[in-house]
Amino acid sequence: MTAVLVIEDDDRIRLALLLALEEEGYAAYGAATAEEGLRRQRDSPADHVLVDLMLPGLDGFECIRRLRRDDDVPIVVVSARDDTHDIVAALEAGADDYVVKPVAIKELSARLRALRRRGRVVAAAVPAQVFGELEISAEAGEVRRAGRPVAVTRTEFRLLCELAEHAGRVLSRQQLLRRVWGYETGDERLVDVHVGRLRQKIEPDPGNPRHLVTLRGLGYKLQR
C-alpha cells in the first residue's frame, strides 16, 4: 500500500484530499502544520508528500527544503497560487511537481504514479557501479574484477554499461541491439555471442554466471 502524507492547514481541503486519496487506494494521513508534517515523516516515512505552500509558522518552501534534506521522498506541491515565481521557487527548493488547486484527484493520482515510475530510473552518469566483486567505471572506461582491471573491448563495454544502467531489469535482445548497436533489426544471436565473450572475462565461472544472467525467452540482466 502506498502511503501519502498531506501537509495542509485548511481542515476542509486536507480532509477532502485524504478522502479522495483513500478512494484511489492510497493510505493517506494528514498534518496541519509543517512542523507536524516533518515530525510524522521522520517517524514513519510516507511514499509521497503533498504540501501546501501557505502554512502557518514554517512555510511550505522551508518545509520542502527540510523534507528534502532527510529524504528522497517525492514531493508534490498543491497550491492555490498559479504563479511562475512560486512554481520555480518550489521546484528549486526540492519539490518534484507543482499542481494548482482545485486539482482533479485523477490527475493527482496519475502524477503520483508518474513520479513513482520516474524514481525508479537509474541514472546514466553514475561514476562507478559495483556488482559484487565487479566494478564498472563509465567515466574511466574501465572494468575491474576483484580490484584487478579486466580488458574488455568497446562493444563489450557498451553492452555492459547498458546492462548496468538498467541493473536488475531484463533487457531483451532487441532492446540491446537497438541501444548498443543502434540496429533497428538484426540477428539476435549477435547479442548472445557478445554476452558469452563478456562472461568469459567478468564471471569467475562463466558456465554459471552470477551477475550477467540469462532469462530464457526474455533476455539478459545484470544483477548484484
Partner DNA sequence: CGGTTGTATGACAGTTCCGTGACAAAATCC
Partner DNA sequence: GGATTTTGTCACGGAACTGTCATACAACCG
Binding stretches for DNA (CB under 7 A): 151, 153-156, 173, 181, 186-190, 192-197, 199-200, 206-207, 214-219
Neighbours of 45 (CB within 10 A): 14
Q: Confirm or reject binding of residue 39 to a second copy (CB under 8 A).
A: no
Q: Pick from 11, 22, 59, 70: which binds a second copy (CB under 8 A)?
A: 70
The distance of closest approach from Cβ of residue 108 to a second copy in the complex, given in angstroms and rounded to an integer, is 10
Instruction: Draw the binding track, 185-214, toward a second copy (x: CB under 8 A; -: no contact).
Output: ------------------------------
Q: Residue 138 and residue 127: Cα distance in Å, rounded? A: 6
Q: Confirm or reject binding of residue 102 to a second copy (CB under 8 A).
A: no
Q: Confirm or reject binding of residue 169 to a second copy (CB under 8 A).
A: yes
Single-letter amino acid code for the residue at 195? V
Stretch that binds a second copy, among 18-26, 51-59, 95-103, 199-207 (CB under 8 A): 95-103
Stretch that binds a second copy, among 4-12, 20-28, 107-115, 199-207 (CB under 8 A): 107-115
- What residue 196 binds from a second copy, DNA, none (CB within 5 to 8 A, per partner kind)? DNA
The distance of closest approach from Cβ of residue 139 to DNA in the complex, given in angstroms and rounded to an integer, is 17
The distance of closest approach from Cβ of residue 116 to DNA in the complex, given in angstroms and rounded to an integer, is 30
Q: Confirm or reject binding of residue 27 to a second copy (CB under 8 A).
A: no
- What residue 88 binds from a second copy, DNA, none (CB within 5 to 8 A, per partner kind)? a second copy
Q: 16: which residues sit within 8 A by CB, 6+ positions away?
A: none
The distance of closest approach from Cβ of residue 40 to DNA in the complex, given in angstroms and rounded to an integer, is 23
Q: 137: which residues sit within 8 A by CB, 6+ positions away?
A: 127, 128, 143, 144
* Distance in Å from the first CA to the final CA of the chain: 27
Give the residues lining the site for a second copy (CB under 8 A).
42, 70, 72, 74, 84, 87-88, 91-92, 94-98, 104, 106-107, 109-111, 113-123, 125-127, 139-142, 153-154, 157, 168-170, 175, 178-179, 184, 215-219, 221, 223
